[in-house]
Amino acid sequence: MTLRRLFWLPLALAIPLLGGTFGRLVPMRGTIADIALDERRQVLYAANFTAGRIEVVSLSDYKVKSVLLTPETPSTLALSPDQRFLVAGLFLGGLTIFDLDADQRRDLAMPSNVLAVVFAAGPQALVVTRTGFYLLDPLTGNMVAMPISGSLGSCQIAVDPGVKPVDISGATVGVSGDGQTVYMLARIENIEPPTCEPSSPDRFYLLQYHPLDTSVRITASQSKPPLGPRVVSVDRDGRNYLAGWLLFSEDPDTGIHFVRAQLPNINGVYALGGHAYDYRRNRIYAQVPVLNNTATSAPPVLHVMDTDNLAVREIVKIPNPIAGRTLFTADLNYMFAVAESGVLVFPLDELDTLPR
């Protein structure tokens, strides 16, 4: 499946702008690259890319209570489903595994940059590096390379580990609410056969993984502009998801992924903006830079959208631009987001009480 601009969704002419500012900024010195939520310990972990450490933020007062040290700059985080293991991917290569129950740390050397780490419903983590995909057992530190498979039109893709390395220069991941489906947005070179590669320079692939799968499967490729922001948001069962600025659905009978809607007037910037799929309230929250605009040229606003067509219901001011991953608490009452100046906290039940 090749992705191109299919249509533009017109914005409604009378969209209510809610009064006041929604959410709270937890300011931090440095650039936050990723976050992970530990409700058992009532803390939020924030990978401070600039400071080269992980900030541990209390959920009771939203203050940094301690730090976790890593041997290199942490760029991505993932917490296991039982909240025992925190895995930090290191920008210059390697992993740090924190056994939070045993208060132990294990450092794993790797020859290539770690781009993303994610836990689904199982005990193993999926690790995306510059050279491929791996399954990590956080208890033992063992890693197994994962092949890439899939079809794009008439192209049948099969990339086996160790045969010819791929070159992945960027990746982001999102997991469904039930933990059974992971979607990845990645820029990949050296796909075989070469005729299956998207035309340069926008070599983006959309990939899918299930905990019992033996390979990572490609489901779609290419878009213009690039599929920014660097976020994938998924519904409860993995049938609908927002990747960059495109809303996808999976046909339950054929397994074919198709574009349901797209955000209008976007510029595709990879490092600015973000979104989240609230399947409890049937809403999508998005703050995405538009054409001829940047995150700092206008006050940041959050768009509250319908999940079937991305029609905007409401617009609300937020204290700081979103700049990456968003996370929900288990009850979906709170949403956390990487921000330009720290971490944003949104009490979602208060959104409907803002003055109109």
| DSSP-derived secondary structure for 50-61 | TTTEEEEEETTT
Per-residue exposure over 318-338, b if at least 16 CB sit within 10 Å of its own CB, e if not: bbbbbbbbbbbeeebebbbbb
- In order of start, what are the domains of the chain with their CATH numbers? 17-353 (2.130.10.10)
Most confident of 159-163, 227-231, 268-272: 227-231
Q: Is the pLDDT of residue 225 over 90?
A: no
Q: Is the pLDDT of residue 270 over 90?
A: no
Q: How many helices (H) and strands (E) does the chain have?
A: 0, 31
Work out the average pLDDT over 65-70: 97
Whole-prediction pTM value? 0.87
Q: What share of the chain is helix, strand, coil (3-state, %, to 5)?
A: 5, 50, 45
Question: For position 5, what pLDDT does the model report?
Answer: 41
Range from 74-88, 143-157, 296-310 carrying the lowest mean pLDDT: 143-157
Mean pLDDT of the chain: 85
| Band of residue 63 on the pLDDT scale cut at 50, 70, 90 | very high
Q: How many angstroms separate the CA atoms of 258 and 184, rounded?
A: 16
| Band of residue 200 on the pLDDT scale cut at 50, 70, 90 | low
| Band of residue 67 on the pLDDT scale cut at 50, 70, 90 | very high
Range from 40-54, 125-139, 209-223 carrying the lowest mean pLDDT: 209-223
Question: For position 345, what pLDDT does the model report?
Answer: 98
3-state secondary structure of 196: helix
Share of the chain above pLDDT 90, in %: 60
Record the tokens describing residue 37, joined without a space. Answer: 């939520």
Give residue 285's identity as a one-letter amino acid code: Y
| Band of residue 254 on the pLDDT scale cut at 50, 70, 90 | confident
Range from 1-15, 35-49, 180-194, 281-295 carrying the lowest mean pLDDT: 1-15
Q: Is the pLDDT of residue 187 over 60?
A: yes
**Beta bridge pairs of residue 258:** 249
Q: Is the pLDDT of residue 96 over 80?
A: yes
CA torsion sign for 259, 121, 324, 26 is positive
